[in-house]
Structure 1
């Protein structure tokens, strides 16, 4: 049997990439799989097409209702969506397109369910009260024509953002005006704040910090330098909000997609000491309002992180794992945290509350999701249109008090299973090339009957996970990764 054949761009013209051998498609080297890769130019038209292509793949945004235009790398989104979460999702997709310098999101939210302002206020107040992280916040809610304003005092910028995120999930909400004030923390020296920001930037797996500068004066932070994508810029902005910070200005921090080539972390930057990784995770946990850091014990050995302790809800456990996984130097997380709710409801009561929570979520309420409770565990079954919406359903169930674990058995909608191997191959080759973290990596892709197999070498675990996630998002029935991690401990499997 003839093996799938692969090509190198310099040896073969691009048209030969679409040859079919025995039903199997193969591509080699994501840095050679888009027409413009020959001269590495990215035009505004290219960015617009790439953005619209990702919208087509991600069914959580209504591509037919969204218009995309680009000028000098600035993408403007117009049109209508049904929820703020869908509007935000469109922004997240766009900021992960290589070459995008800024986004102007002018999309209007037109909810499918129209509510009057008093009803919206009651529902947002209920959502904040039921969320295990925001239930104790001092938040006052007002609404005018569907625009919700949050007033009150919280302890951190992270709590302020989380409060807005909870409100966004409520049906009928069109916009959020977040007027929450941050309770002043203990006064910290600028040098102390700067050192902590630098630690946050260095530990963030989503960005390369080598070309980022930090200036601070009387608690006002300015980030300077260059990053490789808008997503990295936004990650840097979030990282800079440590205790004692009054404001963060990222205007001088420029986005240039070519900067990634000058910001590669050396193996020593990726593989860190056990104590250094532990300190970075503990710092991340301390700023996550969903977690009581004092309840978690962190142990690190050769890049393997073990989390132990007792938390009150499933959301906190998942958040702790995510914080650990998003730390540079982490290759595997063993989450041994136990969830012990303050009161244990019966399975039928849990089922009822989870169903109600899903019905109240503006993004996932349209789906027929089967909910089954078993000794505090919640099993979710059904079909959904996007991986993002599945993750939102899981997160919604995790927030319900009394849930100790969510078993995700939701299935990505079957209409993607009818996508031909050739169509999937074409979409994947573009998706990898446009991703700011993967476009120049040695990733080989073969596809047979919707089953995507990834081989080659990537520098970090994060890059490997990103390639797998993009393959799933694009519509693969199954993804098998045999990617080798370049900068990993000797024991880590190839």
Structure 2
């Protein structure tokens, strides 16, 4: 099992490896496998990239991000400009039913709400909004429309895990209760844990996933 110091060193090396991240702007603290990121970055995409980089590191059990986003004068946008940019980006993305999503912007903080048919549509809306200049934070409250759960949803998820090169299907147990899926077992990184959760959300009829997977070395 990795020590906190070993995890910290690996995190710092992973941040340094990312071409769009200046690791000198980010503070890293590790306690019992939980990583805390601090610092100030000049756009939201860098914050997301830093957090995603940490999730790839083996031994990281949880991430507590406290990075702030402060845009320079040349990149500051009004709430109206940010809102218009998000609307336009949604229109260009075929995975997003823009007519079903409401956008609220206050001082660069984004709230997405509404109801969509699939979880991937909710995730796509968040990913697109993350790339808009001026965005400081995103609260994704979009809900998934109630759907009839197929009887073979458990089998579909299990098969999807077996197809994935990033997931150890044999170490994960899938339990389905109505439209809720519960995952238990073990994974080797929080990136694998998140990947397992994302796959479960893609199953038809699923709109709640309880991810109880444990991260082990």
**TM-score using structure 1 length:** 0.42
**CA–CA separation in structure 2 for the residues paired with 1:132 and 1:188:** 25
**Residues 240, 86 of structure 1: CA spacing in aligned structure 2 closer, same or farther, 3 A cutoff?**
same
Does 1:227 find its partner at 2:175? Answer: no
Does 1:192 find its partner at 2:152? Answer: yes
Q: 1:90-105 maps to which residues of 2 (within 5 A)?
A: 90-105=50-65
By how many angstroms is 1:170 displaced?
Answer: 0.7
* Partner residue in 2 for 1:161: 123
The answer to whether the Cα contact below 8 Å between 1:111 and 1:173 also exists between their aligned partners in 2 is: no
Deviations 1:15-35 (A, max 9, x none): xxxxxxxxxxxxxxxxxxxxx
Deviations 1:156-212 (A, max 9, x none): 000100011111111001111112222222x125x4221111111111111111110
Deviations 1:29-80 (A, max 9, x none): xxxxxxxxxxxx5210111111112212223112111000111111111111
By how many angstroms is 1:135 displaced?
Answer: 6.3
Deviations 1:403-445 (A, max 9, x none): xxxxxxxxxxxxxxxxxxxxxxxxxxxxxxxxxxxxxxxxxxx
By how many angstroms is 1:153 displaced?
Answer: 2.4
**TM-score using structure 2 length:** 0.92
CA RMSD in angstroms, aligned pairs only: 1.6
* Partner residue in 2 for 1:6: none
Match of 1:148 among 110, 135, 141: 110
**CA–CA separation in structure 2 for the residues paired with 1:188 and 1:135:** 22
Aligned positions, number: 214
**Residues 58, 246 of structure 1: CA spacing in aligned structure 2 closer, same or farther, 3 A cutoff?**
closer
The answer to whether the Cα contact below 8 Å between 1:137 and 1:153 also exists between their aligned partners in 2 is: no
Larger relative contact order (CA 8 Å, sep ≥ 6): 2
Structure 1: gaps (5+ residues): 1-40, 258-494
* Partner residue in 1 for 2:198: 238
**CA–CA separation in structure 2 for the residues paired with 1:220 and 1:130:** 31
Does 1:212 find its partner at 2:172? Answer: yes
Whose radius of gyration is greater, 1 or 2?
A: 1
**CA–CA separation in structure 1 for the residues paired with 2:94 and 2:205:** 25
Match of 1:130 among 92, 98, 102: 92
By how many angstroms is 1:151 displaced?
Answer: 2.0
Does 1:70 find its partner at 2:30? Answer: yes
By how many angstroms is 1:136 displaced?
Answer: 4.9
**CA–CA separation in structure 1 for the residues paired with 2:71 and 2:62:** 26
